[in-house]
Structure 1
Amino acid sequence: MGGSERAGREGEQLALVGQAARTAPRARPRTWRNAPLAERLPVARVLVDKGLVHLDRLFDYAVPAAMDAEARPGVRVRVRFGAGQRDGRREGGRLINGFVVERRADSDFPGVLAPLAQVLSTEPVLSPGLLRLCRAVADRYAGALADVVQLAVPPRMARAERQPSPPAPPPPAPPGPGGWSRYPSGPAYLAALARGEAPRAVWTALPGPHWPDELARALATALAAGRGALAVLPDGRAAARADAALTALLGPGHHVLLTADAGPEARYRRWLAVSRGAVRCVVGTRAAMFAPVARLGLVALWDDGDAAHHDDRAPQPHAREVLALRAVQEGAAALFGGLSRSAESARLVETGWAGELAAAREAVRAAAPLVRTVGDGDQARDPAARAARLPTLAWQAVREGLARGPVLVQVPRRGYVPRLACARCRTPARCAHCHGPLAAVGAAEVLRCAWCGQDAPGWHCAECGGARLRAVVVGARRTAEELGRAFPAVQVRTSGRDHVLGAVPDRPALVVSTPGAEPVPEGPGYAAALLLDGWALLGRPDLRAGEEALRCWLNAAALVRPQAEGGTVVVLGEPTERAVQSLVRWDPAGHARRELADRSFLGFPPVARMAAVSGSPEAVAGLLGSLRLPASAEVLGPVPLPVAEPGRPRRPGDPPAGERWERALIRVPPGHGAELAAALKSAQAGRLARREGPPVRIRVDPQDIG
């Protein structure tokens, strides 16, 4: 049975389950076996764990007298959902999990209510505030409430629930401004936090190792004012740096670290300490954006342009939008910071939702390294660049940097040689089995398909018959090998997806890293940095290519010593490119403003709200035909999507292999996003309830609109 057919049948088989129909006079509920019910508030309104938009409502169940004390709002329960036939007998449906949202004295459902089957836990994990936030997120992204609650509430660990949480520590003493004194508006922002106010700021941090301490001081200031604080960072390494800074500032016991590295049980135990009010400060990665912090006074987000802040699970919320919703709902301050700035953050400043928090140009120049550029024309005239990958300027920067400390080399691609082509006719080298791209996986140039993993010995070009290959893209491992031969007396270390280094000592070494995996140097910082193959980042067919390239470069260059201490960065990119010029000037705010102006002129996000609808041509046409869009909406497309080849790795949201899909984009001007999301959700729910073919995939604020 297909997903849509099964969903439709479940929608028809709700006779034995209390529906929120709101059609009949309210009456005291009856159950199948007339079991004794709770004397007071015998009806439980339950959110069932079914992430289907046409079932996105609450259901009424009877509360047996034996469960009266335990079935409180917020607890996990088991209920029977739907009804089925088995051996000729009608049964009460299968058991699924849910949450009690409300206890009531009566029900609007005219039929017989099914009783709660089991109270799984007496821990009230779904508080009214968390439920309200989940509802707002579901509405914004045209998703189902149950899907958002699944993101917000971690899986239950019974042993963790049995352990008591420690008593809440008293509020700490307010910290001093520390590094915030380097920003003209920094002390005033902390003073507003200390007074219990709710200032909002987009913070462009100065380069160097000080941002974890500055973030920790903002969180500590909110704690000292008697309110809670929450900081979300893109990965576990960044969260660990903020965690260490906050521990050094306040000592242990005032906050918890919520990351996947802790393991399910430890993470749930820490989450319970927050839910019970024993801890009022959370530092964590993306999932921590829903942490139920009591009396929330500050939400902080670091590096909002990082793709890790975008959840791949339905309805695919972004941490920035969730935290902005929390700031508004709970009257909390907001601090969205980073070494770079996204167009979305620039939009917050432009609309007045947040103020700008940045250092003066003199302070930026004093903290930043010297940035030098090498364009394609320079490399063409450079004998060293023609003979090897690195121009003379880069070799000179490496030699001088190694005399003072470690040198960072950023390479956009991982692996050895991830893309190859025929040396004679330049035809890309393809696998004979699945037509995937061939890659060299080691110095012996063993060819292997990047899709199916099969080796390709004895390769010959299908176009010209040639047997020689040339590297189209060089990866981090090949770069490390080349640098090792050029500097045989220097240690070469690599950091990438398979093995990420946390830190490197302050002694001469070459550190080859992919973007986002750069180790933090001990001591004053890297002596120099090379940012290779800028074309690979800037040449991507993506609306955010320039913004993402600048973000990766700034995050790496910020680890280099200031110019006064000899710090030098060499970027291999065309000097006329906007992102390269912004790096040279160290002006992420200016780059974000110009990006925002371009997108405003073209009607692209974040100025316009946009949704992507993808699926089979029939399904997309059916949904578009049933949509009741705002008058201001504009439909772009649909256009065909590339057919996914069978062996190719699939990303979330990619069409099934071999199927022909289309995608339409729908955009509306600012202020109409809620109408668009409501219309999409209503149309999708109607199609599922009527079983009108397969469902379509709806993505509000898609990351990729290319």
Structure 2
Amino acid sequence: MARVVVDVPLAHLDRPFDYAVPDAMADDVRAGCRVRVRFAGQLVDGFVVGLGEDTEHDGTLAPLAKLVSGEPVLTPEVLALARAVAGRWGGTVTDVLRLAVPPRRAAAEKRPPAERPPPPAPPDPAGFARYPTGPALLTAVAEGRPARAVWTALPGEDWPARLAELCQAALSGGRGALVVTPDGRDLDRLAAAAQARLPAGSFVVLRADAAPDARYRRFLEAARGTATVVLGTRAAVYAPVADLGLVAVWDDGDDLHAEPRAPYAHARDVLVHRAHLASCAAVVAGTARTAEAQLLVDSGWAHELVADRATLRAAAPRVQALGADAELARDPAARTARLPSLAHRVARQALADGTPVLVQVPRAGYAPGLACDRCRAPARCPACAGPLGIAATPGHDGSRVPACRWCARPAATFDCPSCHGTRLRASVLGSARTAEELGRAFPGAAVRVSGRGSGVLATVPAGPALVVATPGAEPVAEGGYGAALLLDSWALLGRADLRAGEETLRRWANAATLVRPASAGGQVVVAADAAHAVVQALVRWDPAWLAARELADRRELGFPPVTRMAALSGTPPALAEFLEAARLPAAADLLGPVPEPPRAGQEGARERYLVRVPRGEGAALAQALAQVQGVRSARKVRDHVRVQLDPLDLV
């Protein structure tokens, strides 16, 4: 008898089913292999999750229809993790397994498994010597102890090398490691560092944009135990690493770590959960710190890995903000100018010294946001009410005509519905427009643009140049930037978002860390009021202080991560029926409803509720919501309700 998890996207069928194993397959069927079974009159895929003699099914068991592959691609550890993730986020095991196990490629399975490379020597602790507890962390990982750390990297830190050294420490102790980065650019840097420090064949790189054959081949190397270090992006959190000794996540505040598909789990939280299940070391790392990471420190689950202030001052660039009396006396319009005289002087000095200057702007494009010039109301398309903007690329006639960013209809004329104004102004300036302005402000200087639409640059050479980049697309400069200008701060700090403060600091810190230290002339100018708490955290380079402040504010207001929240989206009748059937915890707080814009392919009015509970009742909330989804699935209710626990966006 084989117990099979069938690939059926119905919540009420989220459990294994028993099937008979035909004699012809008896020698090849094993736990973790892929099979095809007949379910509800159809042939569907499934994974064998167990073999046995006894069954609770009354009657004759249906036989397995086909053995797709005898390769055990679903390990017991990954299955246990999938069940834990499904339970915590109110999803199904099938949803998680679709993310955990890539589609099969038969050619890759025909290759014989390679031998596991011998373990390397322990890493040199000099790289972590600038952190008082860094060498102790390396020793703990090498000895297989479950050390947990929240690492705030120093400015200019070679973080890929440090993470590769942690992997080397795990390998030296005979255990595996798993490291997750937010995007392919960071993954490339990490893979290059691993190539230089880890034995050949000891690690694989799992990335979403890899060819299916290559991805499955690398997945098999991990599943077979040949490669015991896995480096990857979001989906790699489920990689089948043998003898797991370390999990690590870089830049956990990046929203690319949040899975957009059910059950919508965050990579950081999955890795923390995996570290608990495997009793292994865990490192949450970044140049800034999230409130979730601070909660790990406050709860005692993890310890801080930070440098002392003297070491920090030696590594950090000089950070200046607007608001100093001397600067206001020199430039009275400094608070309102997009490129104040301070930024202009710093950039000119860096260019004169022969170094590149990084200019960070929040938006790509030319003028992605437009507003009425008279009343400042956002400009909307008269056809679909979408936002009007100006593309970075001129039209066929060389002009830049405003057009709708939703339906692409041009808006050659404009009539404001609020004040009947006919003129437009840019409410947000994009990277292309900024590059154009800087080219005029610094004639003769080379201007490069990195971001969506214009292409993301991985590196830029040394030498005088202006590099305009959007957050996350900042290229690494050879020898470091001489200066960085952080513009349009209001577009980040003024967002109606619970995470606006910490996200702004994360973006600024990621850009500022690419600048040379102050001792080498490195300077950072942030076009924001120096009195703002986020600006103060950057000037002092103290992300831990801001994270603790954010967490304290959220604890007082009852916001995540101190509490757990669930977002319920659907039509009003569906939501009313869902909430009537839900047995929510007694302490649940129901917020809403609020209107929600329709998603692609959806019609009719939609609403959204938020359900808030104390963190200790998060599991009960997830179970209650999953039960309702199961009942509605069994009744074949057509009006779907989208359930998402721990959503990043609460607005």
Shorter-normalised TM-score: what interval? Answer: over 0.9
1:517 paired residue number: 473
**TM-score, scaled to structure 1:** 0.88
1:448 paired residue number: 403
* Runs (5+) with no aligned partner, structure 2: none
| 1:481 and 2:481 are equivalent in the alignment | no
> Does the CA-based 8 Å contact 1:227-1:294 persist in structure 2?
yes
Q: Report Cα offsets for 1:563-586 as digits up to 9, x if no partner.
A: 111111011112222111100110
- Give the aligned residue type for 1:243: A
| 1:502 and 2:451 are equivalent in the alignment | no
Partner Cα distance (1:284, 1:485) in 2: 41
- Give the aligned residue type for 1:407: V
Partner Cα distance (1:307, 1:74) in 2: 32
User: Where does 1:345-360 land on structure 2 (aligned, <5 Å)?
Assistant: 345-360=293-308
| 1:57 and 2:15 are equivalent in the alignment | yes
Q: Report Cα offsets for 1:629-675 as digits up to 9, x if no partner.
A: 333x222233122343xxxxxxxxx4865422222222222322111
User: Where does 1:411-490 land on structure 2 (aligned, <5 Å)?
Assistant: 411-442=361-392, 444-462=399-417, 466-490=421-445
Partner Cα distance (1:567, 1:113) in 2: 72
Question: Aligned-pair distance for 1:466?
Answer: 4.5
- 246-255 or 215-224, which deviates more: 246-255
1:118 paired residue number: 66
Relative distance call for 1:177 and 1:227 in structure 2 (3 A) is same
User: Where does 1:174-185 land on structure 2 (aligned, <5 Å)?
Assistant: 174-185=122-133
Q: Secondary structure at the match of 1:120?
A: strand
Relative distance call for 1:158 and 1:336 in structure 2 (3 A) is same
2:142 paired residue number: 194
Relative distance call for 1:671 and 1:440 in structure 2 (3 A) is same
| 1:371 and 2:325 are equivalent in the alignment | no
Partner Cα distance (1:243, 1:415) in 2: 31
- Give the aligned residue type for 1:563: A
Q: Report Cα offsets for 1:440-464 as digits up to 9, x if no partner.
A: 2246322221111122224444555
* Runs (5+) with no aligned partner, structure 1: 1-42, 83-92, 645-653
| 1:214 and 2:162 are equivalent in the alignment | yes
Partner Cα distance (1:367, 1:665) in 2: 43
| 1:361 and 2:315 are equivalent in the alignment | no
* Structure with the greater alpha carbon radius of gyration: 1
- Give the aligned residue type for 1:640: V
Q: Secondary structure at the match of 2:615?
A: coil
- 268-277 or 448-457, which deviates more: 448-457
Q: Secondary structure at the match of 2:178?
A: strand
Relative distance call for 1:71 and 1:234 in structure 2 (3 A) is same
Question: Aligned-pair distance for 1:251?
Answer: 4.6
Partner Cα distance (1:461, 1:383) in 2: 33
Q: Report Cα offsets for 1:593-619 as digits up to 9, x if no partner.
A: 010011111111111122122212222
1:619 paired residue number: 574
Question: Aligned-pair distance for 1:494?
Answer: 0.5
| 1:155 and 2:110 are equivalent in the alignment | no
1:670 paired residue number: 615
Q: Report Cα offsets for 1:462-485 as digits up to 9, x if no partner.
A: 555554321111000000011112
Match of 1:333 among 252, 256, 281: 281
Q: Secondary structure at the match of 1:672?
A: helix
> Does the CA-based 8 Å contact 1:160-1:269 persist in structure 2?
yes
| 1:685 and 2:640 are equivalent in the alignment | no
2:342 paired residue number: 393
Q: Report Cα offsets for 1:277-329 as digits up to 9, x if no partner.
A: 00111111111111111000010111111101110010011111111111111
Q: Secondary structure at the match of 1:572?
A: strand
Q: Secondary structure at the match of 1:77?
A: strand
For this pair of structures, how many residues does the alignment match?
643
- 193-202 or 217-226, which deviates more: 193-202
| 1:128 and 2:76 are equivalent in the alignment | yes
Partner Cα distance (2:529, 2:568) in 1: 36
Question: Aligned-pair distance for 1:231?
Answer: 0.5
Question: Aligned-pair distance for 1:64?
Answer: 1.4
Question: Aligned-pair distance for 1:165?
Answer: 3.1
Q: Secondary structure at the match of 2:118?
A: coil
Partner Cα distance (2:388, 2:495) in 1: 20
Partner Cα distance (1:507, 1:482) in 2: 21
Q: Report Cα offsets for 1:209-241 as digits up to 9, x if no partner.
A: 411111111110111011001101111111111
1:636 paired residue number: 590
Q: Report Cα offsets for 1:389-424 as digits up to 9, x if no partner.
A: 311111101101112200000000110001112323
Partner Cα distance (2:403, 2:110) in 1: 51
> Does the CA-based 8 Å contact 1:379-1:391 persist in structure 2?
no
> Does the CA-based 8 Å contact 2:335-2:528 persist in structure 1?
no
2:85 paired residue number: 137
| 1:258 and 2:206 are equivalent in the alignment | yes
Question: Aligned-pair distance for 1:379?
Answer: 8.2
Among all aligned residue pairs of Structure 1 and Structure 2, give the percentage whose two residues are the same amino acid: 57
Q: Secondary structure at the match of 1:125?
A: coil
Q: Secondary structure at the match of 2:146?
A: coil
User: Where does 1:268-283 land on structure 2 (aligned, <5 Å)?
Assistant: 268-283=216-231
Q: Considering only aligned residues, what root-mean-square deviation do their CA atoms show, in Å?
A: 2.0
Relative distance call for 1:76 and 1:376 in structure 2 (3 A) is farther
> Does the CA-based 8 Å contact 1:538-1:546 persist in structure 2?
yes
Partner Cα distance (2:581, 2:156) in 1: 53
Partner Cα distance (2:26, 2:557) in 1: 58
Relative distance call for 1:239 and 1:106 in structure 2 (3 A) is same
Partner Cα distance (1:414, 1:53) in 2: 40
